[in-house]
A and B are shown apart, each in its own frame.
Chain A
Amino acid sequence: GAVVSQHPSWVICKSGTSVKIECRSLDFQATTMFWYRQFPKQSLMLMATSNEGSKATYEQGVEKDKFLINHASLTLSTLTVTSAHPEDSSFYICSARREVEETQYFGPGTRLLVL
């Protein structure tokens, strides 16, 4: 149990385009999901908290208009990188909080390359 998926696993796009990444909790419902970004050889950096049915909460320094988050159901959160630029190239990882265990389970990550 406690499986979280992400789609796509990798994506290459042109500068200026938008990219949507999906995060799904496959066998449990998650009121709260989180989005992280990880650069090579670095730790995970929390970008935002995604709350089902309400607006996301962004960490300081993360542009909410650039990283759009939608948590429309208890099993799905999406992250849209708008007008992507090469500096947005990174490894994006989501997690879903399983309330009964008060534990976060992570997705496999999405590699984004912006040309």
Chain B
Amino acid sequence: LAKTTQPISMDSYEGQEVNITCSHNNIATNDYITWYQQFPSQGPRFIIQGYKTKVTNEVASLFIPADRKSSTLSLPRVSLSDTAVYYCLVGDGSGNTGKLIFGQGTTLQVKP
């Protein structure tokens, strides 16, 4: 399974756009890129998933360059409630076992 690398922590202020970049140099051809958000004492919550180029939903955008060796999660205009740990994972594609191996994640602290 491909390993991911993210910054351990990031700080931001309310109303700012936050971009979290994840490196996954060994991503396989059939791997998807998925981001989750986790609050303390809760299970991870699905944010967004993509394979290539750009994906956007109601909460975030995911930018994936052509070589797919990295990806960037973009959170527009964050609020205090976006303070959480964000995990980038690769895998779960067709033909895979479906296993996801969690890295350390990025702890985002949003300040007023």
Q: Identify the A interface with B (CB < 8 A).
A: 2, 4, 6, 32, 34, 36, 43-46, 49, 57, 91, 93-95, 97, 101-109, 111
> What are the 6 tightest A-B residue pairs by CB atom distance, in nearest-first order?
A106-B43, A44-B102, A43-B102, A106-B44, A109-B43, A93-B43
Which B residue's beta carbon lies closest to that of A111?
A: B41
Interface contact A32-B102, CB-CB below 8 Å: no
Q: How far is A102 from B94 in the complex, measured between Cα atoms in Å?
A: 7
Asked if residues A46 and B46 are in contact (CB atoms below 8 Å), the reply is: no
Q: Which residues of A contact B49 (CB under 8 A)?
A: 101, 103
Interface string of B43-58 (1 = CB under 8 A from A): 1111001000000000
Main secondary structure of the interface of B (DSSP, over half): loop
Task: Report the minimum CB–CB distance from B105 to chain A (whole Å).
Answer: 6
Q: A101 to B101, alpha carbons, bound, how many Å?
A: 18
Interface footprint category on B: 20 to 34
- State whether A34 touches B99 (Cβ < 8 A): yes
Q: Which of chain B's residues have a CB closer than 8 A to the CB of A93?
A: 43-44
Question: Is B102 in contact with A102, judged by CB distance below 8 angstroms?
Answer: no
Between B32, B94, B100, B103, the greatest number of chain A beta carbons within 10 A of the residue's beta carbon is seen for B100
CB-based contact A32/B42 at 8 Å: no
Looking across the interface, which residue of chain A has its beta carbon closest to that of B104? A43
**Which residues 70-107 of B sit at the A interface, judged by CB distance below 8 A?**
87, 92-94, 97-105
Q: Inside 8 A of B61's CB, which chain A residues have their CB?
A: none
Can you list 20 A-B pairs, Cβ within 8 angstroms, ordered by A? A6-B43, A32-B98, A34-B98, A34-B100, A43-B103, A44-B44, A44-B102, A46-B100, A93-B44, A95-B43, A101-B49, A103-B32, A103-B34, A103-B49, A103-B92, A104-B92, A105-B46, A106-B45, A108-B42, A109-B42
